[in-house]
A and B are shown apart, each in its own frame.
Chain A
Amino acid sequence: MERTTIRNIAKRITGADEFKPLVALIALYLSSAVISPYFLSVYNQKILLLQATPLVLLALGETMVILMGSIDLSPGSTMALAGLIAALSSNYYGLDIRLSILIGLLIGALVGLINGLAVTVAKIPSFVATLATMVGARGIVLLITGGESIYGLRGYEWLTDERFFVANMVWIMVVFVIITYVLLKYTSLGLKIYAIGGNEEATRYSGINVDRVKVVAFTLAGLYYSVAGIMMDARLQAAYPWTGYGSELDAIASSVLGGIQLTGGIGSPIGSFIGAYILTLIANIMVLLGLNPYLQWVVKGFVLGAAAIALSRGLRYVK
């Protein structure tokens, strides 16, 4: 009797969506600690957290979209556009910093809303719709800036100030992880998102307004990306036009590493959080070891491949 309960508990732990990514993260932590004596230093851990923070936000937004069986290619560009608009509002138009940030966030949500409407009203596949906003938003950023960065941003110090050992933006990120988890697992919207990813037709016939859910999820995702954009402004104290270039792939990779299935319906946002952390950790350890920085792409590629194999074990076939 006792043995079976222990076995059941063990099964619940190992069967959880977050289990495999967590094991991978722990393994990477241990091996990194062995390889580099600096890895576990407080200073390095703080840097790691700070570096991971914007990507976690992108990964969480991306996860909401992927869980519905859609895909979002716009995170990187949305993040850059939102960050730029916020920076312009305060630095160029002299608006209050709080108002500027709010405008930046609304811009992100607007891009998300456009994605959502493109998918539901115009019926453009999400890959194509978000490819268009990805290219378009980046284009707007480059047009406005002429490819130059906007330096000397002020008013973001509260995000980089430390409280309880780490920067405030890290705590904000943690709050977003918790909010997203609650949103997906404990709200009606969350169930609808999982249901759409599981079987969209069935969800429609059960009377759920699927299009509305999609618009809401894409808009929320856009909002998340813009939060990441504000965080980048704070970290760099500049709005850099190529911010987030290629980040959409990191966001998707984080979700995949975290056990989110690209066909939708399966996975936990905690997994994506771990996935984003793993990707950041790989870049971090490469720097610590003084290796060629370009090598990190190769290693990331291998890790992603290995993770995909681990996650698809037990499946008969995949596409």
Chain B
Amino acid sequence: MLGITLIHQERMLFPNLTVAENIYLPLLAKKNMKKGISINKRMMEEVARKYLGLVGLEIDTNAKVKDLGAGEQELVQIARALAEEAKIICFDEPTSPLSRREAERLFDVIRDLKKLGKAVVYITHYIDEVFLIADRVTVLRDGSKVVTKPTTETTPEEITRFMLGRSLEEFYVERREKKAGKTPVLIVKDLYTKPSTSTSVPLKGVSFELNEGEILGVVGLLGAGKTELAKALIGAEKIERGEIYLYGRKTRIKNPAEAAKLGIVYLPEDRKNEGLVHLLSVRDNIILPLVNRLSRGKILRDRSIEENVAKDWIIRLQIKTPSAETRVINLSGGNQQKVVVARSLARSPRIVIFDEPTVGIDVGAKVEIRRFISEVARSGVSVILATSDIDEALSLSDRLLVLDKGRALGIYTRGEIGREDLIRILSGEPRKA
């Protein structure tokens, strides 16, 4: 207990315990705590409420953490760090799962921490955040330090250049000019879902069409139902009512295996738990959905064909790995994500659903994956891109579906809507006439 706390990207909470217990638990390890055999529940809840108040989270302290949204979980974790009275608090990408409002609240909390004399290390990909809260900035690239500067003596542009090691223009992936087709491959009518967990948001009457070779962006704040929509389409979320027409035929998909057979694949948001098989090699992860097709008589594996397929993808997506045999667990986050992308596309799907494909990965990999998504659509594949990064959504999508608490707020065509409009819609204000 040196007073250093890390607020990690992958939330280190106990999902099976309540909010209050999560906040209180580290205190039990403190020496100066008055310890008894029993825990005073009321006191525990009081402590929890006090620190939750500091991060501006109003929530039932008896709720199980697993039932909270990602953003709420993050705030609970920050509250816990505050309860621990950490002297140095490290934040690792704290805002990536947060809504704008929640992020702003977090910045206020961080400024308060500074006033209390606490040192804050803030790890982020978002350069604007650095200039919002940091006094000094250090840029790391490929495992080594590039520069450390006071924020007053540098600019976002300069920092981006340091980060990328290449020019700024390349950072923005602009969508290709070729127009998407007009043939709808997927029509969703009035979709209602039953929440599968207490955290998932029920969809309430979402309708849209997805055309051939189109990128349909799905945007919304935390708890808008983006992941639920994606999962409903591949049969991983219970559909209550509504109709889905796939390639013109009414379909009800039962599970992801059936979806894959029909040419729909889903690239999960949760890379660690739903994306990768960490113990397997890069090759095995990529060819996993194809293994029957690549095997002799569908049974006996053919390593040389598998190797070739895997190597093609490694080159195509520029996956940085010592070899195809390397276990994925040894790759960086960005490269792991590329492996998931490769696997999703290895089966030559007709529809790909990307769920937050660039969250929590470095800028270089982000750009490469965005460019790849654009390329995939150009080849005629229809893409649903669920993202909380509005720049990503705006730059890549042909049309945008805006969700809010399980309802569709509207569908906007590219060019019809700008960054400011979108922010206004998402923050619940009426659109400017």
A residues apposed to B, CB below 8 Å: 186-192, 194-195, 197-199, 201-210, 265-266
Contact = CB atoms under 8 A, between A and B. Distances in A.
Interface in B321-358: 343-344, 347
A204 B256 contact: yes
B299 interface: yes
Given A188-B301, A206-B288, A207-B257, A198 B295 contact: no
A194 B125 CA distance: 35
Residue of B255, B279, B284 contacting most chain A CB atoms (<10 Å):
B279
A186 B266 CA distance: 27
A198 B260 contact: no
B288 A203 contact: yes
A194 B278 CA distance: 11
A202 B284 CA distance: 13
A188 B301 CA distance: 6
Interface of B: 234, 236, 255-257, 259-261, 265-266, 268, 273-280, 284, 288-289, 291-292, 295, 298-301, 343-344, 347
A188 B300 CA distance: 6
A318 to B, nearest CB: 15
A198 B299 CA distance: 21
Contacts of B276: 199, 202
A142 B344 CA distance: 52
Contacts, number: 87
A192 B289 CA distance: 9
Contacts of B298: 188
A199 B277 contact: yes
Nearest to A200: B277
Given A190-B301, A197-B279, A199-B279, 10 more contacts: A188-B291, A188-B292, A194-B279, A198-B279, A199-B274, A199-B277, A201-B273, A205-B236, A207-B265, A210-B257
B342 to A, nearest CB: 11
B277 A207 contact: no
Given A187-B295, A199-B276, A199-B278, A208 B289 contact: yes
Nearest to B293: A188
B300 A187 contact: yes
B257 A204 contact: yes
Nearest to B265: A207
8 contacts: A190-B301, A202-B275, A203-B277, A205-B236, A206-B256, A206-B344, A207-B257, A208-B257
Interface of A is mostly: helix
B299 A195 contact: no
A205 B268 contact: yes
A187 B298 CA distance: 8
- List the 4 closest pairs (A to B, CB-CB), nearest first: A207-B260, A198-B277, A209-B257, A188-B291
Contacts of A202: 268, 273-277
Contacts of B299: 187-189
B327 to A, nearest CB: 10
A209 B268 CA distance: 17
A201 B269 CA distance: 12
A205 B353 CA distance: 11
Contact of A207 (B284, B289, B300, B301): B289
Contacts of A189: 299
Contacts of B277: 194-195, 198-199, 202-203, 265
Contacts of A204: 236, 255-257
Contact of A191 (B256, B266, B291): B291
A195 B281 CA distance: 10
B274 A201 contact: yes
Contacts of A207: 256-257, 259-261, 265, 289, 347
Residue of A188, A197, A205, A265 contacting most chain B CB atoms (<10 Å):
A205
B288 A208 contact: yes
Contact of B280 (A186, A187, A195, A205): A195
A24 to B, nearest CB: 23
A206 B261 CA distance: 11
Nearest to A263: B279
Nearest to A191: B291
